[in-house]
Structure 1
Amino acid sequence: MQISSIDAQNLRLMAFDVDGVMTDGRIYFTPEGEALKVFNTLDGHGLKKLAASGVTLAIITGRNSPMVAKRAADLGIEHVIQGREDKGVALQALAKELGIDSSETGYAGDDEPDVSALEWARLGFAPANAHPCALQAAQHHTQRRGGEGAVREICDAILQQRDSQ
């Protein structure tokens, strides 16, 4: 995946969907009905490195999950928007609140609810196993699948270009 060094240098906000991007999209349920998600530690390290480079991180997800809040807290991600199917609207509102333009924004998503955010952001990413509508809307596609290192691949590609300047 080749990202323009100008786009990487200008990136101020990078937002991620959860199910299918930060996870493999599967949801496990305990006998008590509690939903469980599995996150990749490689992705977490990449997110920490990206934040350390000065990029503000955000999570925008359609579901509400205490596990997402916990994971975000563990990674130091303070912008967490849950229960939003209108991800493009949510991303635009967050960017406006932060004083960030679409040309300084990236988004990673894998399905139809992500398309508007993928199209609005300057840098749109979709994991290898994303739905075709997300693959079409995104400018960049990972080789790795969601939950299996796709987020790390995105972070590394951005950081490589930011470090090359």
Structure 2
Amino acid sequence: MRQTYAIIGLGRFGGALLETLVANGQDVLGIDINEEHVNDYRDVATQVVIADAQEDEVLRKLDIASFDHIVIAIGHNMQASILATINAKDLGAKNVIAKAENRTHLRVLTKIGADVVVQPEREMGERVARKLLAPNMLNFIELSDDYSMAEV
């Protein structure tokens, strides 16, 4: 099923996400304040724009609420990440996924309404540790605090 995605922040995480979604036939709008990042994805994304997602008027003009999924992939600028998340939610975005740099950032993003919050570095670190501890385990999915599923 074809979906629409807006990715705000085109660093390593946002860029990898954009490339993977486009490679799988999805429509993706890439947004970044850095012209160099935008230029890196000009020939990949459905559309890319240089814009500051901290400004609600910018997201309104981009009709951010019309996208099926909005990913806030802003890295080291916690303020920009928080403001972009608030702006997207205030404009009626349905599914906002936000990247957190640390536990405090995760708590703030959750409290302001992000639908899903991810910590890619932490999650990948846990995955690598599980692989080291159980080399016969091919895949691992945590279903809840009490249940997991593993492919061995």
Alignment of 1:36-55 (within 5 A): 39=12, 44-55=15-26
Figure out how many residues of one structure are paired with residues of the other and give that number: 111
What amino acid sits opposite 2:118 in the alignment? T
CA distance in 2, matches of 1:116, 1:123: 13
Counterpart AA for 1:111: I
After superposition, the C-alpha distances for 1:57-107 in whole angstroms (9 at most, x for unaligned) are 12334x3x23122222253352314245324x43343238xxxx63x4221
Q: Percent identity?
A: 19
Rounded to whole Å, the distance in 2 between the matches of 1:15 and 1:128 is 17
Which of 13, 17, 30 is 2:8 aligned to? 17
CA contact (8 A) 2:38 2:50 kept: no
Instruction: Determine helix, strand or coil for the equivalent of 1:111.
Output: helix
Q: Find the counterpart in structure 1 of residue 109 from structure 2.
A: 134
Point out where structure 1 has 5 or more consecutive residues left out of the alignment: 1-8, 24-38, 150-165
Structure 1 length-normalised TM: 0.50
Q: Is the 8 A contact 1:60 1:80 kept in 2?
A: yes
- TM superposition outliers: structure 1 runs of 4+ over 6 Å: none
Higher strand share: 2
Separation (CA, whole Å) in 2 of partners of 1:72 and 1:54: 15
Distance 1:95 1:52 in 2: 24
Task: Provide the aligned C-alpha RMSD in A.
Answer: 3.4
Q: Could you say which structure has the greater relative contact order, defined with CA pairs below 8 angstroms and 6 or more residues apart?
A: 1
Aligned to 2:70: 107
Gaps of 5+ in 2: 73-80, 125-152
- Return the index of the structure with the highest Cα Rg: 2
What's the TM-score once normalised by structure 2's chain length?
Answer: 0.53
Aligned-partner Cα distance in 2 for 1:95–1:123: 14
Shift of 1:51: 1.9
Q: 1:113 to 1:124 in 2, by over 3 A?
A: closer
SS in 2 for 1:79: strand
Give the corresponding residue for 2:47. Answer: 78
Task: Give 1:127's aligned amino acid.
Answer: K
Q: What one-letter code is carried by the residue in structure 2 that aligns with 1:15?
A: A
Contact 1:59 1:79 in 2 (8 A): yes
